[in-house]
Amino acid sequence: MMSINKGKEIAEGSSIPATVIAGTTAGSGAGVGAGVVGDQRNPPPLSRYESQKRRDWNTFGQYLRNQRPPVALPQCKANHVLEFLRYLDQFGKTKVHLQGCVFFGQPEPPGPCTCPLRQAWGSLDALIGRLRAAYEENGGLPETNPFASGAIRIYLRELAQASKFSNLDSLMALKIKFQELESVCYWEISR
C-alpha cells in the first residue's frame, strides 16, 4: 500500500530505498555456493534518470493497484494518468493563484490566500516523459500509451499557462501573450 510519504518522495524526486532498486538476486537460487564463483558481479549502478524512472513507474503501478477497484496496467487510460497527476498536486509547493484571487497577477503577494499548491509544470512534464518511456520499456505499445495521450498534453499545457500567468501582473501577461502571437505570425510568414 502506497503511503502519503511515498507519493511525496516521487513529487520531490528524493532517493528511493535500496531494496526497490536491488529487486533481482544474483546466482541460481539453489542455495549457498550455487553457480560459478566469478559470475556474481554487481550490476552497473543506474543513472539518476533511470532510478527516477523506475521509482516513478513503481509508484504509478502502486497507485493503480490502490484504486478501488484496482486497475490493471493494460486497462490504464489517460483518465487514470490525469487522476494520478491531480493526486500528486497535494504534495506540490507551487502556489498557483486562481483568476478570482486578489493576488492573481502579483509575483510576490503581500499575504496568504486559499489558492491551491500544485506540482510545478516542469516537474510533471518530466514525470510524464519518464512514465511514457517506462510504459514502452515495460511492453506497452506506443499506440496505446496513456502518457502520450492528447488529454495529457492539454492538461500540461493548461497547467503551464495557469502557472505562467497567475504570478504575473496583467500588463506583463499581456506583453507575453503579444510576443507569443507575434512569434507565431512571424513563423507563419516565413514558411
Q: Average pLDDT, stretch 84-98?
A: 86
Helices (H) and strands (E) in the chain, counts: 7, 2
Largest CA distance in the chain: 73
Residue 58 lies in a domain: yes
Nine-digit cell string for 88: 500528486
Does 29 reside within a domain? no
Query: Would you say residue 138 lies in a domain?
Result: yes
User: What pTM was estimated for this model as a whole?
Assistant: 0.63
180: domain range? 4-12+45-189
How many domains does one find in the chain?
Answer: 1
Flag whether 86 is in a domain.
yes
Q: Report the range of poorest mean pLDDT among 81-85, 125-129, 135-139, 170-174.
A: 170-174
Contact 130, 54 (CB under 8 A): no
Confirm whether 148 is domain-assigned: yes
pLDDT in tens, 107-154: 777 888 888 888 888 899 999 999 999 999 999 999 999 999 999 999
